[in-house]
Amino acid sequence: MKPIQKRKLNTIELGHWKGFPPPQYIYGNRKYKGVAINPPSFVPGSWCGAGKALFDRQRDEYLLTSRPRVSKDNKRGYQANIYASDDGINYFHLVESLSKQEVMKITGIDVKSIEGTQLLRDPGTNLWHFYISIDIGEEFVWGGLMWQTVLLTAPKLSGPWKSEGVILNNDQKYDEFQARDGSIDIIDGKYYCIYKAKDKEKNRRPGLATSIDGIHWKKEAALTTDGNDRCAFLSGSLFSASGGPVFIGTEMIDRIDQNVEHENADKHAVKHGGSEVRFIAYKLDLKNLNLETLFRTKWKPSSPFEYQGHPLLGYSSSILDLKNERFLMYMEAIDGTYTKKMGLNHTVERVLVYETKL
């Protein structure tokens, strides 16, 4: 008798657990596997991360996007990069890079800095969709005040890239300062984006936008959490599950730890690195536009590259890799050796990869 086939599409049975792998299991059984991407240098203010992880069947490769950043000469986020790896853990090599100047030329927008990036292959056109968060502020401000999201498309990762314009602008009260750093996935052929929405009072909430083609987007609302309006920034990935979409990743709370030395970058008091970051899992209730808590816990460092007090910045992305019976998590981590205190120009950040065997 043939063994029962337990893996169908993106669900799995682990003993008596059915449906999507329990987030408690994913977190509790994770193992640090290595450094996926290093920062441009180890001078304070140098980062990489703020990206998207995915497996592309056509290329038979694991892809990971990132924006490198340095503080020297007010350079900030200066590229949108795409890396590839054969196994999702070792040797992520650069396959495409768009400089800030190239993004400006393609879009016709004056870009001060680049932050969150997302990459997907559109199922209808087979085009690559490269979503890039851009600082469009009229003045130089560390961290930036005004952010939007643009979309570039191309038939190949090597280009040529074409601008589809701004897909998330600042047209709602809850995102009139920032509509950026989206976590974008396609479920049942529909695009879903949970993004950072920031209002004039500097409250940042998770906003939800949807699309049927990845180009024209509808903003649904600022999401509540367990029925409450809650200020937080979410970063991660959406997965199909038996009870509806599940969001797994990290949550950064607007609360600075007063016990950690922190230095603001300028008069605008843009903080960085001192907020509490948690590993979270939410069920996305599309009817009530609410995030229902499935699991939440403070992240505990388990590698030699994490700052013990505040190991994570808050950017993350994940892959459910059923072919290899594992769950991969990519975390932008604050380094504990080169980072002496928190602040935009004081931390050093790299992308670490964790694996949970299923």
Dihedral sign from CA coordinates of 78, 113, 72, 272: negative
Rounded Cα distance between 321 and 57, Å, is: 12
Tens of pLDDT along the chain (358 residues)?
343 444 444 556 667 788 899 999 999 999 999 999 999 999 999 999 999 999 999 999 999 999 999 999 889 999 999 999 999 999 999 999 999 999 999 999 999 999 999 999 999 999 999 999 999 999 888 899 999 999 999 999 999 999 999 999 999 999 999 999 999 999 999 999 999 999 999 999 999 999 999 999 999 999 999 999 999 999 999 999 999 999 999 999 866 666 666 777 777 767 787 778 999 999 999 999 999 999 999 999 999 999 988 899 999 999 999 999 999 999 999 999 999 888 889 999 999 999 999 9
Nearest to 332 by CA among 273, 254, 248, 267: 273
- H-run or E-run covering 292: strand 290-298
CB within 8 A of 287, min separation 6: which ones?
Answer: none
322: its two tokens: 């059923």
Rounded Cα distance between 169 and 167, Å, is: 6
CA-to-CA separations, 50 to 19, 81, 90, 234, 288, in angstroms, rounded: 29, 11, 19, 12, 29
Torsion of CA 248, 254, 255, 256, to 10 degrees: 100
The full set of domains in the chain, from first to last, is 23-357 (2.115.10.20)
